[in-house]
C-alpha cells in the first residue's frame, strides 16, 4: 500500500510538472501573439483551486490530474464581443496559430534540457558498461571475452554507461547488424564525448533475427552480452519482514553455509533450489557471529514471469564493492552541462522517433507500449533513488510527451499543425466538415493506443 501511494504521489507530481510546462508553452506564445487566454487549467473536471489574475486569465488546478488545457478566446467556440475580436485565436495569422500550437511540444523539449542540465550539474553516479561473458547462439557469441571488456561505442556512437548502451541498442531494433566497439579494462582510460570511436576492437553483430521481450529481459542480455557484476557474497543484505526467511528467524548479516545438507556454492544455484521448492520445507544452515544455526524455511508460492509456480523466501545477498576503475561520475560545469543536456535531449528525441517508426513498420511490437501505470511505477522508482534520477525520468517523459503531441492525429497538437500547414499550402482553411471527421478519427486512434497501453500495463502487474 505504501509503494502504491508513493508511486501515485510521484506520478501526480511528475505529470503536474510536465503538463504545466506543456500548457505554459501554449500560454506564453498565445499572449505574445495578442490572443486573450480565458483559462489556464492543470487537470480536468471540478476545480479544487482557482484564481483570476490581473491579466484576466483564470488559473485553475482541477481534480483529475491527467492533462490540462489553455482556453483561448475563439469565435468558432463562443460568441466574442466586437471589441475583443482582434484578440481571438481564429483571427490570428496561420503562422501565429502554428507558433501557438507548436509551443506546447517545444516547451516539453526545453523542459527536458533544463531537467537534464540540473541533473548533470548535480552529478550522476554511474557504472561503465563492462561485460565479462557472452552467450552461445546469440548475436554476441562472436565476441571472445578473455577479461572484462568495456563497450565504448554502439553503432558509431560513444557510450559511457549502461543507460546510453540501452538507448543506443533500442534505436537499432530491426536493423540487420549492429557495430559494437569494446576494449579490455586493462587498457582503461576515461571515455567521454571526445573519445575516438575506434578505441578498441569493433565487432559487427548479425541482428537480422534478433528479438527481445522488454518485459522479460533487456536488449543487452538478449544480444548475449553478460553484464559484469561484482561477486555475490553469501552474507544476507536484506531479509523481507513478511517473507518466509524472516518468519523462520533468519536475519540480515547471516551468512549462508549449506542448504539441505549440501554446502553453499553459488547464489544462482541457491535461488534455483528455492524456486523449485514452493511450499516445501528447506533446511538452511547459516553462520551468525561465531556459531552455526539451522532453520527450516518453507518458501512462499508466487507466479513467475512465464506464469509458472516458484518459491521465494524474501532474502537478498550482498555484493562485493565495485572496482574503482568501473565507477563513473557524470558531472559537468555550468556551461558544459547545458551542451551535454541538449545533446542528451536530442538523443532521446531521435530514439523516440525511431521507435515510432519501428512500431509502424512492425519491427517493434505494440506490446512494448506503456501507459500511466508503468509511468507511475517509473516515477516512484526514480524518486526513490533520488533527485538526479527523478530529473532524468522527468526529462525522458517530457520528451515523449512532446513527441506524442506532435503525432498527426487531429485531437493532438500535431493534428492541428497538419491542418494549418495545409492552409499554408492551399491558402485557405481546411473545411470544418473535414476537420470534424479528422477529429473523430484521431480520437478513435488515440483511444485505441491508450487501450493497448493500459492492457499492457495490467498484463505486467
Output the CA–CA distances (angstroms, integers) from residue 263 to 256, 266, 267, in the order listed: 9, 9, 12
Q: Which residues contact 220 (CB under 8 A, 6 or more apart)?
A: 162, 165, 166, 169, 227
**Which pLDDT belongs to residue 185?**
84
Instruction: Give me the domains of the chain, ranges plus CATH numbers.
Output: 126-230+321-330 (2.30.42.10), 232-317 (2.30.42.10)
Question: What pLDDT, in 10s, does the model give residues 256-306?
Answer: 999 999 999 889 899 999 999 989 999 999 999 889 999 999 999 887 766
Mean pLDDT of the chain: 84
Task: Grade residue 407 by pLDDT with cuts at 50, 70 and 90.
Answer: confident
- The answer to whether 253 and 317 are in contact (CB under 8 A) is no
Interval 166-176 mean pLDDT: 84
Catalytic choice (23, 75, 251, 283): 23
Lowest mean pLDDT among 7-16, 45-54, 347-356, 448-457: 448-457
Lowest mean pLDDT among 141-150, 160-169, 186-195: 186-195
**Which pLDDT belongs to residue 37?**
92
Interval 24-47 mean pLDDT: 92
**Which pLDDT belongs to residue 197?**
45
Judge whether 23 counts as a catalytic residue.
yes
**Which pLDDT belongs to residue 284?**
93
Greater model confidence, 453 or 186 = 186
In the DSSP assignment, the letter for residue 122 is: H
DSSP string of 222-288, one letter each residue:
HTTEEE--PPEEEEEEEE-TTSHHHHHT--TT-EEEEETTEEP--HHHHHHHHHTTTTS-EEEEEEE
Greater model confidence, 42 or 386 = 42
Task: Grade residue 453 by pLDDT with cuts at 50, 70 and 90.
Answer: low
**Which pLDDT belongs to residue 282?**
92
Q: Is the pLDDT of residue 380 over 60?
A: no
Instruction: Measure the CA–CA gap between 299 and 314, rounded to whole angstroms.
Output: 9
**Which pLDDT belongs to residue 436?**
79
Amino acid at each position: 500500500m505504501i509503494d502504491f501511494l508513493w508511486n501515485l504521489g510521484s506520478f501526480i507530481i511528475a505529470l503536474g510538472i510536465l503538463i504545466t510546462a506543456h500548457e505554459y508553452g501554449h500560454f506564453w506564445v498565445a499572449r505574445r501573439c495578442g490572443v486573450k487566454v480565458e483559462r489556464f487549467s492543470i487537470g480536468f473536471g471540478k476545480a479544487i483551486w482557482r484564481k483570476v489574475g490581473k491579466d484576466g486569465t483564470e488559473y485553475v488546478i482541477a481534480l483529475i490530474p491527467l492533462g490540462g488545457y489553455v482556453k483561448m478566446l475563439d469565435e468558432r467556440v463562443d460568441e466574442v464581443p466586437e471589441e475583443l475580436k482582434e484578440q481571438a485565436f481564429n483571427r490570428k495569422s496561420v503562422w501565429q496559430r502554428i507558433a501557438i500550437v507548436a509551443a506546447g511540444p517545444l516547451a516539453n523539449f526545453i523542459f527536458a534540457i533544463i531537467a537534464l542540465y540540473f541533473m548533470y550539474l548535480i552529478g550522476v553516479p554511474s557504472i561503465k558498461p563492462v561485460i565479462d561473458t557472452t552467450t552461445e547462439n546469440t548475436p554476441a557469441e562472436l565476441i571472445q571475452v578473455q577479461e572484462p571488456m568495456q563497450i565504448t561505442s554502439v553503432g558509431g556512437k560513444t557510450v559511457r554507461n549502461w543507460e546510453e548502451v540501452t538507448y543506443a541498442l533500442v534505436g537499432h531494433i530491426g536493423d540487420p547488424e549492429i557495430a559494437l566497439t569494446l576494449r579490455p579494462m586493462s587498457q582503461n582510460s576515461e571515455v567521454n564525448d571526445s573519445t575516438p570511436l575506434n578505441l578498441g576492437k569493433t565487432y559487427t553483430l548479425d541482428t537480422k533475427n534478433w528479438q527481445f521481450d522488454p518485459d522479460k529481459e533487456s536488449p543487452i542480455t538478449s544480444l548475449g552480452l553478460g553484464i559484469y557484476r561484482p561477486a555475490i557474497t553469501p552474507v544476507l543484505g536484506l531479509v523481507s519482514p513478511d517473507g518466509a526467511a524472516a518468519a523462520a528467524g533468519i536475519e540480515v548479516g547471516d551468512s549462508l553455509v549449506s542448504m539441505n545438507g549440501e554446502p553453499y556454492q553459488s547464489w544462482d544455484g541457491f535461488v534455483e533450489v528455492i524456486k523449485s521448492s514452493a511450499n516445501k520445507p528447506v533446511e538452511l544452515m547459516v553462520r551468525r557471529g561465531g556459531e552455526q544455526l539451522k532453520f527450516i524455511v518453507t518458501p512462499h508460492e508466487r507466479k513467475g514471469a512465464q506464469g509458472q509456480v516458484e518459491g521465494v523466501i524474501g532474502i537478498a545477498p550482498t555484493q562485493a564493492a565495485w572496482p574503482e576503475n568501473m565507477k563513473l561520475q557524470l558531472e559537468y560545469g555550468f556551461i558544459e552541462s547545458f551542451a551535454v543536456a541538449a545533446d542528451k535531449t536530442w538523443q532521446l528525441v531521435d530514439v523516440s522517433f525511431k521507435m515510432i517508426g519501428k512500431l509502424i513498420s512492425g519491427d517493434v511490437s505494440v506490446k512494448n507500449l506503456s501507459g500511466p501505470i508503468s509511468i507511475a511505477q517509473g516515477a516512484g522508482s526514480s524518486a526513490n533513488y533520488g533527485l538526479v534520477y527523478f530529473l532524468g525520468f522527468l526529462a525522458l517523459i517530457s520528451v515523449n510527451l512532446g513527441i506524442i503531441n506532435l503525432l498527426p492525429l487531429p485531437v493532438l497538437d500535431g493534428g492541428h499543425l497538419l491542418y494549418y500547414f495545409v492552409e499554408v499550402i492551399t491558402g485557405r482553411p481546411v473545411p470544418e466538415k473535414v476537420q470534424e471527421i479528422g477529429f473523430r478519427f484521431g480520437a478513435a486512434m488515440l483511444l485505441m493506443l491508450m487501450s493497448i497501453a493500459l492492457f499492457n500495463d495490467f498484463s505486467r502487474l
